[in-house]
Chain A
Amino acid sequence: MEPVHRLHVRSNFAVASLASLTIGVAALMAACAPATSSSRASSIPPVNMSPGEPLPDPRVGLRAGKMDAAQAVWNLRVVSQTPPAEHFVGVTNSDLAFVGNYAIQGNYNGYQVWDISNPAQPTLKEGYVCPASQSDVSVYRNLLFVSGEGTSGRIDCGTTGVKDTVSKDRLRGLRIFDITDISNPKNVGNVQTCRGSHTHTVVVDPKDPDNVYVYISGSAGVRSPNELAGCIRARPEEDPNSALFRIEVIKVPLAHPEQAAIVSSPRIFNDLTAPARHGESPEDVAENKRQVAEAKAKGGFVATIRGTEQVLPGFIITPVLDSIVKARGGTGAAAATAADSNALRAALPAMIARRIGPEPPAGATRPGPTQCHDITVYPAVGLAGGACEGYGFLLDIRDPAHPVRIAAVADSNFSYWHSATFNNDASAILFSDEWGGGGQPKCRSTDRREWGADAIFRIVNNQMQFQSYYKLPAAQTKYENCVAHNGSLIPIPGRDIMVQAWYQGGLSVFDWSDPAHPHEIAYFDRGPADSTRMASGGFWSTYWYNGNIVGSEISRGLDILELTPSQYISQNEIDAAKSVHLDYLNTQGQPKFTWPATSALARAYADQLERSKGLSADRLSQVRQAVGGAASGANAMQNKAALGALAAQLDADAGTSSDGARVRLLAATLRQLGG
């Protein structure tokens, strides 16, 4: 049997010694031991764990160390771990973008370009020093975009910061580099914005080949109008040109990136009171709706308060009703007629206005967010997911310069809506909550599992319906900053699988094909960076790119890992995922995956149908045999006929299968394989 768990490390970095490996084997045996006990098989695994997940969780109690922490890995293989380049050591590594064979890793001191054509040995192609927080990076063709938010960023990329509160040297916004020669990037333009750029999102308009758009999200303070003209700190009620409550859209002419400029500042937060019941969890919202419906059915009293219908309690209603009845000479509330009730209903808005102030006209008040933290666009479906402080948004981006909000959700368990990921067919969306800002330890056993987690929603008729939370199942120490952070889909066909960074909680690969029951299927984790105090570290982002999982580790550098087959993912599914090739990737510009018709794809569907029991064992064996014949290159004409006949048979099976849609996908793949 091919050993699936080898820890390959770069020889100049984490060299394993005999002694430490002996410890490793001992620990490993201990970790294996409970798997044989019969009691475990029947026990229910903790929330978000798979039934077969090893217990006790080996991620708990890992030895600390900045560069030498103990590591736990399950259903993955560590391919390489590369420390930061010289000028970036000790400075926060941030997000990742990919182009060709290169991974571009942001760093608060600039960015590093890694050649990852040999994932076992990434080599530094370029380390560009240009300090800025957070140095969020994106690519498009020959252009590289880098975010600057902090007040210490300089236009000249200098390292001395900017002390003056108003300065012509300060850069807060978007830097644009020409990376035609990737080892010699040229800063061809900058676009300054009022609140800087915490993150940004490149939007490719399928209808506009000459330009690319960049959405700027910046949650920091508004700079002085003396530093950048037109930056207004006042709220929109006081000044319609307020820099609050809007995002910036930059248009970048591809032939002239130096002419990049802000083309619109959409106020996607307007009128937010009406669609969202802010501050309540979805369960609360559902319960409120139920109460409202019940009250209406029973002739109760309902009022619209700040855009939401609420049932009014008896102690407010009864005295008023009482006085209405008495005013016409009746005995009291108990004797109220329908006419009395209607009179009260008519009087309610004024009554409520006296208690809490009048209902504001639409658009006049803005209790919601002033900014988005990050926006994930999915141009193939014309949608974007906006993670905007206290809200999750669904945006229509078919006109990229003018995004329009079409739905909003809030959740009282969510502190800070941080980022969004669609599933591949855009029938579901996952938002993460970066509770505590990423620097705090929110995965301790004492932290609630629905706090600092992901929330998963189904998208039905452009509305979002809450399904479940997902949170890293392994408890971390108080010295490990840990909360939901950046991740991407892994293109396993027919399933929604994602890899996500949890800072010092490590990375977690999970399956959310059933949005109501997400569960973990692989992980990698290190011990704390420091055993005595909180020291910043952990994965900022972990993304799948052309066959590997690439992780940006805040202090430890660049990690590359590979999925290994398990009961949750077969080798065929991994092979099918690896057949998807991207020329470049900005995770916040989500690409739609399509799979070339390969024998791996057919086998992957067959494996899934075996798992779901959606096809009989006999049929599965026929499929595998036929695919094997096609792959061996035997008589092409015979194969075509055999695959076609089998596909027709599968189409018939689909009608009675419990997993009919997948059977049809398999049939279509067989037809394509036949040519």
Chain B
Amino acid sequence: MRKSYTRGIATAFAVIAASACATASHSTSSAAPVISQPTINPQSEAAAIQQARTDSLRRPYTEADIRFMSGMIHHHAQAIVMSSWAASHSASASVQRLADRIINAQQDEILTMQNWLRDRQQPVPDATATGMTMTMGGMQHEMLMPGMLTAAQMKQLDAARGPEFDRLFLTYMIQHHRGAVSMVKELFDSYGAGQDEVVFKFASDVNVDQTTEIARMDKMLIAVTLGIQTQ
């Protein structure tokens, strides 16, 4: 009963809405869009059930998953620092475009990793281009993730300008991406890892995206080494 009543009202108002719009927009034959705002209350319960199911369906995650999602935050943070120099270090247009895309992609991915860790009450690393703190034999070590640039390499890149920056940037970013790809391999080689849907998808995306980008950078590096401007 209640259902058919509200539905009737809904239709009536929609009709008013549509005709109001038709009148208002007679100068153009294009109809204006309808915006509907369904009520909240009947839905919140369904949304809560959905969230609960999403939570309960989460597969158990392992240390390897956590290590990957934490370590990759630092890894990405360094790629962003390197890429942010393109604008100030007189990179060529094609390297600048590549750097812009790396910044855009990896900033978004850092949020994905941070959300994943936060949802599981794990420590959420800041996006700093440092190593990951690891405790080994009672001692704390800061360990750079595979492919990350050493302090000396970062200094060298920061000092370069123009074509030399392009060459170093591509060389080091290929090294950096290869490290990320090896992190994915290590993840999937670990017992019980990658069962979580988000981890599997994210790690697989990192693998294919960065493998694809390595191929692209390889080609760019040849052009840069020969001094051929492609822009």
Q: Which chain A residues have a beta carbon within 8 Å of chain B's beta carbons?
A: 1, 3-9, 11-12, 14-25, 27-29, 31-33, 35-36, 41, 50, 52-54, 58, 62-63, 65-68, 70-75, 83, 89-92, 108-109, 133, 150-152, 161-165, 219-221, 278-280, 284, 288, 305-306, 310-313, 315-316, 352, 355-356, 367-371, 373, 389-390, 412, 415-416, 435-437, 439-442, 447-448, 451, 523, 533-534, 555, 564, 566-568
Cβ–Cβ contact A14 & B38, under 8 A: yes
Least Cβ–Cβ distance between A98 and chain B, in angstroms: 26
Cβ–Cβ contact B223 & A310, under 8 A: yes
**Chain A contacts of B229 at CB under 8 A?**
313
Least Cβ–Cβ distance between A138 and chain B, in angstroms: 21
* A92–B211 alpha-carbon span in the complex (Å): 26
Q: Which of B20, B59, B211, B222 contacts A305 (CB 8 A)?
A: B222
**Chain A contacts of B122 at CB under 8 A?**
none
**Chain A contacts of B49 at CB under 8 A?**
89-90
Cβ–Cβ contact B209 & A416, under 8 A: yes
Cβ–Cβ contact B201 & A439, under 8 A: yes
B 1-29 contacts with A by CB, 8 A: 3-4, 6-7, 9-11, 13-22, 24-25, 27-29
**Chain A contacts of B10 at CB under 8 A?**
7, 9, 15-16, 21
* A451–B98 alpha-carbon span in the complex (Å): 11
Cβ–Cβ contact B37 & A20, under 8 A: yes
**Chain A contacts of B215 at CB under 8 A?**
278-279, 367-369, 390
* A73–B21 alpha-carbon span in the complex (Å): 13
Stretch binding the partner chain, chosen from B106-114, B130-138, B146-154: B106-114
Listed by A's residue number, 30 A-B pairs whose Cβ atoms lie within 8 Å are A1-B22, A5-B21, A5-B34, A6-B15, A7-B36, A20-B36, A21-B36, A24-B13, A24-B37, A29-B21, A32-B20, A35-B32, A36-B27, A41-B28, A52-B30, A70-B37, A74-B33, A89-B53, A151-B195, A161-B59, A165-B191, A221-B204, A278-B216, A312-B226, A316-B227, A355-B225, A367-B215, A389-B211, A415-B105, A448-B100
B115 at the A interface (CB under 8 A): yes
* A447–B94 alpha-carbon span in the complex (Å): 17
**Chain A contacts of B207 at CB under 8 A?**
219-221
Cβ–Cβ contact A5 & B17, under 8 A: yes
Name which residue of chain B comes closest to A73, CB basis: B34
Cβ–Cβ contact A58 & B37, under 8 A: no
Cβ–Cβ contact B42 & A390, under 8 A: no
Q: Which of A163, A221, A568 contacts B191 (CB 8 A)?
A: A163
* A661–B25 alpha-carbon span in the complex (Å): 34
* A5–B13 alpha-carbon span in the complex (Å): 11
Q: Known pairs A52-B29, A306-B222; list 8 more (Cβ under 8 Å).
A: A15-B3, A27-B35, A41-B27, A66-B47, A67-B43, A278-B216, A279-B220, A310-B223
**Chain A contacts of B11 at CB under 8 A?**
6, 8
* A568–B28 alpha-carbon span in the complex (Å): 12
**A-B pairs with the 7 shortest C-beta distances?**
A52-B30, A90-B53, A437-B205, A90-B54, A74-B33, A68-B43, A3-B18
Cβ–Cβ contact A367 & B188, under 8 A: no
Cβ–Cβ contact A313 & B227, under 8 A: yes
**Chain A contacts of B230 at CB under 8 A?**
280, 284, 288
Least Cβ–Cβ distance between B118 and chain A, in angstroms: 9
**Chain B contacts of A28 at CB under 8 A?**
17, 20-21, 32-35
* A167–B32 alpha-carbon span in the complex (Å): 57
B 76-131 contacts with A by CB, 8 A: 94, 97-98, 100-101, 104-105, 108-109, 111-112, 115
Least Cβ–Cβ distance between A271 and chain B, in angstroms: 15
Known interface pairs A50-B30, A74-B33. Does A416 touch B208 (Cβ–Cβ under 8 Å)? yes
Cβ–Cβ contact A5 & B18, under 8 A: yes
**Chain B contacts of A6 at CB under 8 A?**
11, 14-15, 18
Least Cβ–Cβ distance between A488 and chain B, in angstroms: 23
Known interface pairs A90-B50, A316-B227, A356-B222. Does A75 touch B31 (Cβ–Cβ under 8 Å)? yes
**Chain A contacts of B94 at CB under 8 A?**
280, 284, 412
* A456–B174 alpha-carbon span in the complex (Å): 30
Q: Which of B14, B30, B185, B188 contacts A151 (CB 8 A)?
A: B188
Known interface pairs A7-B14, A70-B35, A133-B200. Does A534 touch B115 (Cβ–Cβ under 8 Å)? yes
Name which residue of chain A comes closest to B220, CB basis: A279
**Chain A contacts of B60 at CB under 8 A?**
161
**Chain A contacts of B27 at CB under 8 A?**
35-36, 41
* A197–B229 alpha-carbon span in the complex (Å): 40
B219 at the A interface (CB under 8 A): yes
* A448–B220 alpha-carbon span in the complex (Å): 21
Name which residue of chain A comes closest to B42, CB basis: A15
Q: Which of A3, A50, A568 contacts B15 (CB 8 A)?
A: A3
Cβ–Cβ contact B34 & A533, under 8 A: no
**Chain A contacts of B205 at CB under 8 A?**
436-437, 439
B231 at the A interface (CB under 8 A): yes
Known interface pairs A20-B38, A165-B191. Does A440 touch B219 (Cβ–Cβ under 8 Å)? no
Interface residue SS majority, chain B:
helix
**Chain A contacts of B97 at CB under 8 A?**
412
Least Cβ–Cβ distance between A146 and chain B, in angstroms: 16
Least Cβ–Cβ distance between A538 and chain B, in angstroms: 15
**Chain B contacts of A35 at CB under 8 A?**
24-25, 27-28, 30, 32
Q: Which of A36, A150, A164, A316 contacts B200 (CB 8 A)?
A: A150
Name which residue of chain A comes closest to B23, CB basis: A32
Cβ–Cβ contact B38 & A68, under 8 A: yes
Cβ–Cβ contact B35 & A72, under 8 A: yes
* A28–B6 alpha-carbon span in the complex (Å): 20
**Chain B contacts of A91 at CB under 8 A?**
53-54, 57
Name which residue of chain A comes closest to B34, CB basis: A5
Q: Which of A31, A152, A305, A313 contacts B195 (CB 8 A)?
A: A152
Q: Which of A24, A311, A568 contacts B17 (CB 8 A)?
A: A24
Cβ–Cβ contact A25 & B192, under 8 A: no
**Chain A contacts of B16 at CB under 8 A?**
25
Least Cβ–Cβ distance between B73 and chain A, in angstroms: 15
Name which residue of chain B comes closest to A524, CB basis: B33
**Chain A contacts of B211 at CB under 8 A?**
370, 389
B156 at the A interface (CB under 8 A): no
Least Cβ–Cβ distance between A307 and chain B, in angstroms: 10
**Chain B contacts of A73 at CB under 8 A?**
33-34, 36
* A28–B152 alpha-carbon span in the complex (Å): 60
Query: Per-position contact with A for B181-220: 1 when CB-CB < 8 Å, else 0?
Result: 0001100111110110100111011011101110111111
B228 at the A interface (CB under 8 A): yes
**Chain B contacts of A32 at CB under 8 A?**
20-21, 24-25, 32
Cβ–Cβ contact A1 & B19, under 8 A: yes
**Chain B contacts of A165 at CB under 8 A?**
188-191
Q: Which of B6, B30, B190 contacts A567 (CB 8 A)?
A: B30
Least Cβ–Cβ distance between B15 and chain A, in angstroms: 5
**Chain B contacts of A90 at CB under 8 A?**
49-54, 57
* A566–B22 alpha-carbon span in the complex (Å): 12
Least Cβ–Cβ distance between B124 and chain A, in angstroms: 13
Cβ–Cβ contact B39 & A15, under 8 A: yes
Cβ–Cβ contact B188 & A71, under 8 A: no
Name which residue of chain A comes closest to B20, CB basis: A29
* A12–B38 alpha-carbon span in the complex (Å): 13
Name which residue of chain B comes closest to A536, CB basis: B198
**Chain A contacts of B7 at CB under 8 A?**
11, 15-16
B139 at the A interface (CB under 8 A): no
**Chain B contacts of A150 at CB under 8 A?**
194-195, 197, 200
Q: Which of B37, B105, B115, B190 contacts A436 (CB 8 A)?
A: B105
* A553–B63 alpha-carbon span in the complex (Å): 32
Cβ–Cβ contact B30 & A25, under 8 A: no
* A68–B45 alpha-carbon span in the complex (Å): 11
**Chain B contacts of A310 at CB under 8 A?**
223, 226, 228
